[in-house]
């Protein structure tokens, strides 16, 4: 279902219209894909929903939730709730460390959590089920042994992102959801469609936040626009720059990792993106002033993540050439 497909000028060009239609036809061939939205120069140029999905239906964005937590952490620092990225986590988990003193773990900082360099064994993939079935997600995450040095290689872990959510709550005195609504979602007219909580009531820091694709697009556009939305500075450009630096690399793909955001080369361009299991993406291509959102069914997604290749082929071979042809229209 193509809802909107026009060039930015508002005048229908048969070649551009056919090209955009072709993009959506290629997208529909990706069986798992459920939505595709393409925006350039701040204007929506096309959106399509597949397999009967509605534009008004929120999607579970899975681990793309981590990128939202990264933004919220930055806002909490800018609002003065968290002193800096170098604040040790013992500030927020003093009760845990009083009962479980560990001089090494006490050196972990907010920065280490943001860049997935805490060094603790992952609570994702094979350990995810045990973690979410545990009685206390915070304690389970902090109980993990070191598998890498602090500031060392990336250890991707949903539990690590969850610690950031708990820190936001403890530092601000409001739930992560209430904090997000006050400082991010409400100013951007974004509605949360659902958000899981842990047994202690803390909102999940690394998974299971539901947003509409159009609201995901808003977040990407705000970041492309240097943190500004409708004239209001939502988050500083300094934090955005720090978020998209590469601090480490995944062990399983060639992607760089910043503060809960990924980056990779797509053709000759750098793509900055939030990424959730099964194919939930907020993609930004700053050189083309473009934002692309994709959401997908997770039914057929496997741990081998074979869904990634067709998504990035669609981006590199079809969407980017179309965006290049319109680059000068702004």
pLDDT band of residue 13 (cuts 50, 70, 90) is: very low
d(C-alpha 6, C-alpha 32), whole Å: 25
Higher pLDDT, 19 or 56: 56
Does the pTM surpass 0.85? The reply is yes
Query: Would you list the domain boundaries of the chain?
Result: 61-260
Residue from 222, 263, 259 nearest 84 by CA: 259
Q: Output phi, psi for 135, to 5 deg.
A: -75, -25
Look at residue 299 in the predicted model and tell me its pLDDT.
78
- 139's CB contacts (< 8 A; 6+ apart) are 96
Question: Considering the chain, what percentage of its residues have pLDDT values greater than 90?
Answer: 86
Lowest mean pLDDT among 31-40, 154-163, 226-235, 300-309: 300-309
Strand, coil or helix: 110: helix
Average pLDDT (117-140) is: 96
Look at residue 300 in the predicted model and tell me its pLDDT.
66
> Is the pLDDT score of 216 beyond 90?
yes
Higher pLDDT, 89 or 303: 89
Look at residue 252 in the predicted model and tell me its pLDDT.
81
Question: Considering the chain, what percentage of its residues have pLDDT values greater than 70?
Answer: 92
Look at residue 18 in the predicted model and tell me its pLDDT.
53
Concatenated DSSP letters for 9-74?
A: TSS--HHHHHHHHHHHHHHHTSTTEEEEEEEETTEEEEEEE-TT--TTS-EE-GGGHHHHHHHHHH
> Is the pLDDT score of 115 beyond 60?
yes
Q: Output phi, psi for 290, to 5 deg.
A: -130, 150
Look at residue 122 in the predicted model and tell me its pLDDT.
97
Mean pLDDT, all residues of the chain? 92
pLDDT band of residue 16 (cuts 50, 70, 90) is: very low
Look at residue 5 in the predicted model and tell me its pLDDT.
47
CATH class (in words) of the domain with range 61-260: alpha beta
What confidence tens digit (pLDDT) does each residue in 29-60 have? 999 999 999 999 999 999 999 998 999 999 99
- 42's CB contacts (< 8 A; 6+ apart) are 221, 225, 289
Look at residue 250 in the predicted model and tell me its pLDDT.
86
pLDDT band of residue 306 (cuts 50, 70, 90) is: confident
Higher pLDDT, 15 or 207: 207
Lowest mean pLDDT among 10-24, 32-46, 128-142: 10-24
């Amino acid at each position: 279902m193509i809802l909107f497909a026009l060039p930015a000028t508002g005048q229908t060009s048969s070649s551009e219209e056919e090209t955009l239609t072709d993009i959506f036809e290629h997208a529909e061939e990706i069986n798992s894909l459920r939505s595709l939205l393409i925006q350039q120069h701040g204007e929506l140029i096309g959106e399509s929903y597949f397999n009967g999905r509605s534009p008004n239906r929120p999607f579970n964005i899975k681990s793309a939730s981590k990128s939202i937590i990264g933004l919220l952490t930055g806002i909490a620092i800018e609002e003065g709730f968290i002193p800096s990225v170098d604040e040790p986590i013992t500030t927020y988990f003093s009760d845990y460390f009083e009962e479980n003193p560990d001089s090494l773990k006490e050196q972990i900082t907010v920065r280490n959590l943001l860049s997935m360099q805490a060094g603790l064994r992952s609570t994702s993939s094979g350990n995810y089920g045990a973690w979410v079935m545990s009685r206390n997600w915070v304690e389970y995450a902090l109980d993990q042994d070191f598998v890498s040095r602090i500031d060392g290689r990336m250890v991707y872990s949903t539990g690590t992102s969850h610690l950031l959510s708990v820190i936001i709550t403890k530092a601000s005195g409001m739930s992560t959801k209430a904090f997000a609504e006050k400082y991010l979602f409400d100013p951007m007219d974004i509605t949360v469609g659902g958000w899981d909580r842990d047994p202690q009531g803390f909102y999940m820091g690394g998974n299971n936040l539901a947003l509409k694709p159009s609201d995901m697009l808003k977040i990407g556009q705000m970041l492309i626009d240097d943190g500004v939305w409708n004239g209001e500075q939502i988050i500083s450009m300094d934090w955005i720059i720090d978020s998209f630096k590469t601090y480490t690399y995944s062990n399983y793909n060639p992607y760089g990792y910043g503060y809960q955001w990924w980056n990779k080369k797509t053709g000759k361009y750098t793509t900055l993106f939030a990424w959730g299991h099964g194919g939930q993406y907020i993609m930004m291509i700053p050189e083309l002033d473009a934002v692309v959102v994709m959401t997908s069914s997770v039914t057929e997604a496997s741990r081998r993540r074979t869904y990634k290749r067709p998504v990035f082929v669609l981006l590199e071979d079809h969407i980017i050439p179309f965006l290049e042809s319109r680059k000068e229209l702004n």
